[in-house]
Every structure is written in structure tokens, then in C-alpha cells.
């Protein structure tokens, strides 16, 4: 049982520069714990109070876990996991260069 995880660039400092890592997790919760065991600090980057952070999206193959079973989403051999930071912003509180 092995799944492949695509690590986004801003987290690769914690994975010794690796863009892809493999692990044997059976669910997203397991995956987060296994990543934390192998790469300390990742869990805090990915979750807040046990849930995936608001502006972080996790996909199992092409499916957003929010439309599956969220953090309890089961994984199977060969799954590809993607961790994707949201692209967001806006002019609220816009600053003017001085």
C-alpha cells in the first residue's frame, strides 16, 4: 500500500527539497500524521485544530476531499494526493504606496 503526495513548493523546505513523497497512509488523517512523523512541522502547516486549513485544498487524484469524506477520506494503493494552496486576495483594506 503506497500513495504518492505532491508537496507544494512552500512546504518543500520541510521535506528536504522533495517535491514528491510516498507513504502508506490509509486515510487523509493518517497521511497527515505520517507526514508529520517523517517531516516534523508539516502537520502544523496543513491543519488548524485538527482540520485542514481554510485556504489549503487537498485532492485525492482529481477529487477535492471536501466533496469526499474530508479528513476521513480513505486512500487506496496508487492514489495521487495533491496539496494546493488557494489563490485568493482582494482590495479590501487596500494600501496606497507612499
Partner 1 sequence: MELTIRKKDLDQIVDHCNSCLPDEACGILAGGDGRVEKIYRMTSARPGPASYEMDPGEQFRVLKDIRQSGRALVGIYHSHPGNPAYPSGIDVEKAYWPGTLFPNYPGAVHVIVSLMDRLNPAVKGYTIDKGEVAEVALQVV
Residues that bind partner 1 (CB under 8 A): 8-11, 13, 44-45, 48, 53-57, 59, 62, 64, 82, 84-97
User: What whole-number distance in Å separates Cα of residue 52 and Cα of residue 78?
Assistant: 22
CB of 48 to partner 1, least distance (A): 8
Residue showing cell 512523523: 37
Provide, rounded to whole angstroms, the least separation between the CB of residue 65 and partner 1: 11
Dihedral of the alpha carbons of 40, 46, 47, 53, in degrees to the nearest 10: 160
Closest to partner 1 by CB, 26 or 53: 53
Amino acid at each position: 500500500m503506497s500513495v504518492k503526495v505532491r508537496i507544494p513548493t512552500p512546504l518543500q523546505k520541510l521535506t528536504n527539497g522533495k517535491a514528491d513523497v510516498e507513504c502508506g497512509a490509509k486515510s487523509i488523517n493518517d497521511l497527515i500524521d505520517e507526514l508529520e512523523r517523517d517531516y516534523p512541522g508539516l502537520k502544523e502547516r496543513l491543519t488548524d485544530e485538527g482540520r485542514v486549513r481554510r485556504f489549503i485544498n487537498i485532492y485525492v487524484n482529481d477529487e477535492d476531499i471536501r466533496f469526499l469524506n474530508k479528513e476521513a477520506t480513505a486512500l487506496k494503493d496508487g492514489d495521487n494526493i495533491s496539496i494546493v494552496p488557494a489563490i485568493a486576495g482582494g482590495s479590501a483594506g487596500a494600501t496606497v504606496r507612499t
